[in-house]
Amino acid sequence: MTSARESFARNAAWISLWSNIVLMAGKLAAGWFGNSDAVFADGIHSGADVFASVIVLLVIKVANKPADADHPYGHGKAEVIVSAIVGLLLLLVAFYVVSEAVVGLFHPAGSPSFLAFWVAAFSYAAKHLLYRYSLKVARAYDSKAIEAIAYDHKADITASIAAAIGVILSVAGGRLDLPFLLYGDKIASIFVAYLIFRIAQKILAESFNILMESNVDPELLGELEETIHSFPEVRRIDRIRAREHGNYMLVDIRIALDYDKTILEGHNLGKKIKEALMERNDHIREVLIHLNPYFRET
């Protein structure tokens, strides 16, 4: 049975896929026939988005599979791996776009067609809607893969604005006989590459931290400690660790109780702490609690 999370994530990926196919075709055609490097570069970016959406669609079902004997912690990191792939793909696109733009700066520039401007403007409007929708789904269901797609849409928003400005400058340069403005389109494509690079950097950094199982945000750890300290039987927190595992979180805790507590008392307290932590943060999937003896100072 398909979960609500999987269903919404899949719908978001399908919407992104078909939207990017249409935008890719429009921007590549407008950039090629309209003589606009910036719009063509944005089209290449949309092509990378198509590939990213396909990967996400393929992995969503895997990421939502329950834990099994081979994967006792679940399959949540499948989304993180996809997120990293999207980041690497965007990084390659950024390097390609900037290299093509730099080469173009050393060749005579022509004036692009104004059609390229309208395509860039339409892309801006479409990507703005796609970004808001994808980010809403990603946050509602804590999907790293959909979040990567959302940030990719965000890069497209500013990239489309930059492309539109570049086209206007180049058209103005042709009509006003100002040769230096003709290079506005190529400079805009370099800016587009920079924006793509920044988004790729953000996605890769987050994915790398999760895959390397870095600790969660200190503020979140503080909230977990606050919940644990709400139980008077807990004399001391010896260690607390938490790591993201895709769309959920795993928590490891070592706490000290009075040495004369029975195993049953410790077990029941651990169960209550686990339930309290999971109630406060619904992203927590598992809590492992280790009990240490606490000896009163004399």
| Separation of alpha carbons 50 and 56, rounded Å | 10
Q: Are residues 143 and 40 in the same domain?
A: yes
Among candidate residues 211, 227, 251, the one where a domain is terminated: 211
* Residues in the chain, overall count: 298
Q: Are residues 48 and 115 in the same domain?
A: yes
pLDDT score, position 277: 92
Among candidate residues 165, 194, 211, the one where a domain is terminated: 211
Q: Which residue has the tokens 């240490």?
A: 292
Q: Are residues 171 and 197 in the same domain?
A: yes
Say if residues 51 and 45 touch (Cβ distance below 8 Å): no
291 forms bridges with which residues in the sheet? Answer: 255
Based on the structure, what is the number of domains in the chain? 2
Dihedral sign, Cα of residue 137, residue 140, residue 145, residue 150: positive
| Separation of alpha carbons 162 and 147, rounded Å | 23
**String of b and e for 240-269 (b: at least 16 CB within 10 Å)?**
bebbbbbbebbbebebebeeebeeeebeeb
pLDDT score, position 184: 77
Q: Are residues 93 and 238 in the same domain?
A: no
pLDDT score, position 74: 63
Q: Are residues 232 and 91 in the same domain?
A: no
Among candidate residues 45, 7, 34, 19, the one with its CA nearest the CA of residue 128 = 19
Q: Are residues 81 and 139 in the same domain?
A: yes
Q: Are residues 33 and 67 in the same domain?
A: yes
pLDDT score, position 8: 75
Going by C-beta distance under 8 Å and a sequence separation of 6 or more, which residues neighbour residue 176?
Answer: none
Q: Are residues 80 and 148 in the same domain?
A: yes
Which 3 state secondary structure label does DSSP give 253? strand
pLDDT score, position 229: 92
- In this structure, what are the phi and psi dihedrals at residue 257, rounded to the nearest 5 degrees? -120, 160
Q: Are residues 264 and 143 in the same domain?
A: no
In CATH, what number is assigned to the domain containing residue 151?
A: 1.20.1510.10
Token pair recorded at residue 257: 């109780």
Going by C-beta distance under 8 Å and a sequence separation of 6 or more, which residues neighbour residue 233?
Answer: 257, 258, 261, 265, 269
Q: Are residues 113 and 80 in the same domain?
A: yes
In CATH, what number is assigned to the domain containing residue 238?
A: 3.30.70.1350
Q: Are residues 145 and 260 in the same domain?
A: no
Say if residues 148 and 76 touch (Cβ distance below 8 Å): no
Domain membership of residue 65 as a residue range: 4-211
pLDDT score, position 114: 76
Mean pLDDT by groups of 10 residues along the chain of 298 residues: 65 84 88 81 78 73 66 67 79 82 72 80 88 86 76 79 81 75 77 81 79 74 90 91 77 91 91 91 85 80
